[in-house]
Amino acid sequence: MYSVKSVKDLQNLNPYVIVGCGGGGEKFSNLEGIETVGFIDDDERKQGKPFCGIKVSSSLEEALEDNDAKSIAIMIPIGAEGAALKYAVQAIDAGLNVVCSFRSLPVADNSSLVKFAESKGVEIKEISPRLDVVKEIAGVAPEKSCEVLPKISYTPKAKVVFVGGTSQECGKRTTTKALGIEAEKRGLTSAIISTDEMGIEEPTDFNFRAGSLSVMDVPAAILSAIKFVEESKNPDIIFIEGQSSLTEKGNPHPRGLSASILIGSAPDAVIVAHRPNHPYREPRGIPDEIKAIEAVEPTKVVGISINLRNSDLEDMDEEYFEDRYDLPTQDVYNNGASKLLDAIFDYLGDD
């Protein structure tokens, strides 16, 4: 009833004042047939400056001066629910229609706002997550949007190392733990963040299942984890376990998850795990994974963690992979991670 199904639903409410001078606000103003007469943003750095050719106002009252706006579009992100509700109440009280987004002001969660709009004789519409479409094409869908975490920016004090891999079940979790153990042996305070529900073994500091989150939420969760562990433990180095692979063949579904963990980690260095002759996965291989990682993030793969569980060549050992790929290689399950930690510190320039 309140969900926008077509741009025509929005055109009928022209002209608009748009709250939010970011990507959402710009997208909305560029929709076909949308007439924008004002912008509002709470960021003082944007106020008074042009956005999409219109001066940004600091309040609804200011934005409504000298125009004939009939509606307000609230296009601000998750985490700004308070501001979204404030502007919606102000707009309805002023006799304006309201278009909001499920990201910051879901109509289903604000029934009193709907009643307020009805009492004032104005419309309230939501740009929804369109899970109805997902259900139609896939047969099933979540009841509501999975994207719930506020987006944060955070720059770690400690060095961050990401452990990626060429496939699922190739040794990423074992490698992450081994690196943490080796760092502690050297007198460093390390932090280990596991991104899988199975990451429950010591010395992992904590684990969460990144796959339970929206891909949009995963970088925020990683950054929040880094921030949390720095505030609680003050580590010298942080190791983050990746999931799946950027390049694995045959199972494309977790590849986006792998990318989102890598992006959230923004690592200073990377170790890539590989399991040759994997019995039930289809890795493209070490060169493809290294190329993909270094293309997605401005980082460097500095070593290889090799899982020899299924190797069937007598000469397939650490030296075999070092000669082939010109990177320090270690069988961490049998030999620990000292060589890989040396490679990390050699690259980072730390003692």
Tens digit of each residue's pLDDT (9 = 90 or more) over 272-304: 999 998 988 999 999 999 999 999 999 999 999
Residue 315 has pLDDT above 90, yes or no: no
Tell me if 211 sits within 8 A of 199, measured CB to CB: no
Give CA–CA dist 4/41, Å, rounded: 24
pLDDT tens per residue across span 222-254: 999 999 999 999 999 999 999 999 999 988 889
For 351, what's the count of Cα atoms within 13 Å in the CB-facing half-sphere?
1
Q: How much is the pLDDT for 351?
A: 46
Q: Which residue has the higher pLDDT, 198 or 185?
A: 185
pLDDT tens per residue across span 21-38: 999 999 999 999 999 999
* Residue appearing with tokens 């796959």: 211
Q: How much is the pLDDT for 179?
A: 97
The mean per-residue pLDDT over the stretch 2-26 comes to 93
pTM: 0.84
Q: Environment class of residue 89 by beta-carbon count within 10 Å: exposed (0-12), middle (13-18) or buried (19+)? A: middle
Tell me if 276 sits within 8 A of 305, measured CB to CB: no
Residue 16 has pLDDT above 70, yes or no: yes
pLDDT band of 1, cuts 50, 70, 90: low
- Buried b or exposed e, range 195-234, using 16+ CB within 10 angstroms: bbeebeeeebbebbebbebbbbbbbbbbbbbbeebbeeee
Q: How much is the pLDDT for 72?
A: 97
- What is residue 22's DSSP assignment? S
The widest CA-to-CA distance across the chain, in whole angstroms, is: 81
- What is residue 282's DSSP assignment? B
Where would I find the beta strands (DSSP E) of the chain? 16-19, 36-40, 50-51, 54-57, 71-74, 97-101, 124-127, 159-165, 190-194, 206-207, 237-241, 269-274, 301-306, 329-330
Q: What are the residues whose beta carbons fall under 8 Å from the beta carbon of 81, sequence distance 6 or more?
A: 104, 105
Q: How much is the pLDDT for 233?
A: 96
Tell me the torsion sign for CA atoms 4, 9, 13, 16. Answer: positive
Give CA–CA dist 340/142, Å, rounded: 42
The mean per-residue pLDDT over the stretch 146-174 comes to 94
* Residue appearing with tokens 């106020």: 47
Q: What are the residues whose beta carbons fall under 8 Å from the beta carbon of 222, sequence distance 6 or more?
A: 193, 195, 210, 240, 261, 264, 265
**CA-only gyration radius of the chain, Å:** 25
Mean pLDDT of the chain: 93
- 3 state DSSP class of 148: coil
What are residue 239's DSSP bridge partners? 161, 192
- 3 state DSSP class of 218: helix
Phi, psi of 259 (to 5 degrees): -65, -40
Give CA–CA dist 72/17, Å, rounded: 5
The mean per-residue pLDDT over the stretch 294-323 comes to 89
